[in-house]
A and B are shown apart, each in its own frame.
Chain A
Amino acid sequence: MKNVSKILLTSILTVGIAATATAHDAKMHMKKPQKADCTVMDKMDKDKMMKKDPVLMAMMKKCMKQKMGKMKLQHKEMSEKHNHNEGAEEGQHH
């Protein structure tokens, strides 16, 4: 008997609590996309690199990609400059 009234009392409370439920607006502050700051990677302890740490591997992966991207860009710029100079030289010849 005691148990039954306990259960009932609990259900009264539960209904009461359910009534207090608040649905919050999950509006979020938008974040601006940011490039990875890989300068810290260069300063890092190289001994630690030996470990098979997924966090480290993930950081290296990301920063490697960035470096490759930069190298490609530099390469493109250089070859563009080169072409430009060639063009100028040819112009002087004539």
Chain B
Amino acid sequence: MNIIKTLLVLAIIAVIGAGTMIYSGIVNVAADEPHSAMVYWMLEQTRENSIAKASKDIKVPNLEDADLLLSGGADYNFMCASCHLQPGQKESDMSVGLYPSPPNFAVENDEHSHESNNNEDKSAEAKKHFWVIKHGIKASGMPAWGKTHDDKRIWAMVAFIQKLPELTPEQYQILTAVE
């Protein structure tokens, strides 16, 4: 009985709390004001776990392929570089202004660098990348490209992103150029 009472009280508090947040306008949605460390941590964990779970059964095709890189390169330059940058570029309006900020794919990510050390982790990262590119991430600037692009083109971008940290600006230019 006591448990039910406590639950009820908590539920009411929850509803009132949520209502206050929704209707009072006290929550700051400005992108130029970062989340508190705790909120950031919660969001990050939620996102990472969600992506890992959703992508774990995806089969990764062979990504070491010249044609994939050419297709992915042109698409990346056209659709992604404005946010995710390119070799030799440090920032863009989008990379600076978006919050959460888009990861810079042109450099080896500290967070992920340990991941790309062996093949298994590389494949796990490829799965995650594929899933995110296809489905996007809610309430961030990351769009779902799967609505307008088939899986092959998405894998091509995954293949290209995998090579991106080791590309020089000149190599990037050749791979991404459209004739």
Which residues on A are within 8 Å of B, measured CB to CB? 1, 4-5, 8, 11-24, 26, 28-29, 31, 33-38, 40-41, 54-55, 57-59, 61-63, 65-66, 69
List residues of B (51-91) whose CB comes within 8 Å of A's CBs. Answer: 64-70, 73, 77-79, 81-83
Are B179 and A15 in touch, CB under 8 angstroms?
A: no
Cβ-closest 9 pairs across A and B = A21-B139, A36-B177, A57-B66, A58-B66, A15-B18, A58-B69, A24-B141, A8-B10, A16-B21
How long is the Cα–Cα vector from A92 to B13 in the complex, in angstroms? 103
A1 contact set on B, CB distance < 8 A: 3, 6
Are A55 and B163 in touch, CB under 8 angstroms?
A: yes
Q: How far is the CB of B143 from chain A (nearest CB, A)?
A: 5
Beyond A20-B29, A26-B141, whether A59 also contacts B175 by CB under 8 A is yes
Q: How far is the CB of A34 from chain B (nearest CB, A)?
A: 5
Q: Which B residue sits closest to A52, measured CB to CB? A: B64
A55 contact set on B, CB distance < 8 A: 66, 69, 163, 166-167, 171, 175
How long is the Cα–Cα vector from A34 to B86 in the complex, in angstroms? 15
A19 contact set on B, CB distance < 8 A: 18, 21-22, 27
Q: Which B residue sits closest to A16, measured CB to CB? A: B21
Interface residues on B, range: 35 or more
A65 contact set on B, CB distance < 8 A: 179
Are B66 and A12 in touch, CB under 8 angstroms?
A: no
Interface assignment of B7: CB less than 8 Å from any CB of chain A: yes
B81 contact set on A, CB distance < 8 A: 31
Q: Which B residue sits closest to A17, measured CB to CB? A: B39
